[in-house]
Amino acid sequence: MNFEHIPVLLEKTIEYLDPKTGGVYIDGTLGGAGHSLEIVKRITPGGVLLGIDQDSNAIAAAKEHLEAYKGNVIIVHDNFKNIKAIAGNLGFCEVDGILLDIGVSSHQLDQEERGFSYMHDGPLDMRMDTERDYNASDIIESATEQELTRIIRDYGEEKWAVRIAKFIIEERKAGRIDTTFKLVDIIKKAIPAAARREGGHPAKRTFQALRIAVNNELEVLEQAIKDAVDILKPGGRLVVITFHSLEDRIVKTVFNNMERPCTCPPKLPVCVCGKVPLLKVVTKKPVVAGDKELEANTRSKSAKLRAAERVSSKRS
C-alpha cells in the first residue's frame, strides 16, 4: 500500500508545538505520520509519542513510517474524540503537547474507492473509519429534502443548497445515487451555468458537507479540544490545523473562551465567578502556508493553524 501523506504547515507545527527531548506528545490525527515523524525525532531519546487515527490504512502506513522509533511510539486505532480516555487508559494523565490535524488526507482524497473526491469516480463512501456502517450514499438515500438542505447549507456553506437537495430527491427516484460522479452530475444540473463558472468546482461544498456529516466532524471537535486541554501540563501546547472556516471558527471560539472564561459583568471591579484562564493563545491570527509550500502542495491553501498554551493546573 502506498500511503502518500504530505504534512501541511510542518515547520510551523514543530515551531508552535515545540517538542522537547523526553517529553510525552499526542498526535490525535496520525495520518501517514508526516507530522509525527518530525515530532518523535525531537523527543527521543526518552520521549513517547501517542498516535491516534480512525483510518486503518493510516495506521498501517504510520507503523511503517515510524518503524525506526517503534520503541518510542504507541499507536491506537480510534477517533480523536476519545483522546482523554485513550491517554488515561495508557497512564498519560498529563502530556507536554498535542497536535490535531483536522480533515481529509491526501491519501484519502486520491483513493477512488474511498469516495472523498469529486475529481475521481468511485463509490460514494467518505467514511474515515471504514469499519463504520453508515456512508455518504446512505445519507443521500435516506435523508429528507429538508435534512439534505440543512447538511449542504450548514456544513458546506453552499448557497444553492435548496436546489441541490431538491435535485437529489428527484434523481434518487430513478435509482440509488451510489457513485461520486453520479452526485457530481446532479450538482452540476442543480447549479445554474453562470454560477458554475465561479468559485472553483461546483461540487466542492456539497462533498465537504457530506464528508462532515458522515464522520460527525464538527460535533466532536469542540469537546475534543476541551479534553485535549484538560490533559495538557501547564506550559504544554495544543496545535490545531483546520481546512475550512467552520472548523477554524470552532477552534478560535473555544480557544478564546478558555483564555477569557470570566462571566462577570464588565462593571464589576473584581472577578467573582471564579473562572480562571486555562489557555494563553499564542497565535493571535491563524498561521497559513507560505508561497513555497503553496507551490509544492496546493492542498495547503486552505490550511489554518492555531496554537495555545496551557497556563493553569486546574483540572475538570
Distance, CA of 53 to CA of 223 (rounded, Å): 17
Instruction: CATH number of the domain at 126, please.
Output: 1.10.150.170
**Any domain includes 305:** yes
Q: What is the pTM of this model?
A: 0.88
- Domain encompassing residue 186: 112-215
Final residue belonging to a domain, choices 215, 232, 247: 215
Residue 3 has pLDDT above 90, yes or no: no
Distance, CA of 246 to CA of 106 (rounded, Å): 20
Please report the pLDDT score of residue 273 as a whole number. 84
The answer on 190 and 228 residing in a single domain is no
What backbone torsions phi and psi does residue 123 show, to the nearest 5 degrees? -60, 140
With cut-offs at 50, 70 and 90, classify the pLDDT of residue 276: confident
**Any domain includes 269:** yes
Structural domains in the chain (count): 2
The answer on 138 and 201 residing in a single domain is yes
**Any domain includes 235:** yes
**Any domain includes 49:** yes
**Any domain includes 315:** no
The answer on 295 and 224 residing in a single domain is yes
**Any domain includes 128:** yes
- Cβ(95)–Cβ(26) below 8 Å: yes
Cis peptide before 45 (omega within 30 of 0): yes
What backbone torsions phi and psi does residue 118 show, to the nearest 5 degrees? -85, -5
The answer on 221 and 103 residing in a single domain is yes
**Any domain includes 178:** yes
Residue 166 has pLDDT above 90, yes or no: yes
Give the helix/strand (H/E) hosting 217.
helix 217-230
The answer on 203 and 233 residing in a single domain is no
The answer on 117 and 29 residing in a single domain is no
Burial 114-126 (b: 16+ CB within 10 A, else e): bbbbbeeeeebbb
The answer on 144 and 71 residing in a single domain is no
Residues 171-219: tens digit of each pLDDT: 999 999 999 999 999 999 999 988 887 778 999 999 999 999 999 889 8
**Any domain includes 2:** no
Instruction: CATH number of the domain at 21, please.
Output: 3.40.50.150
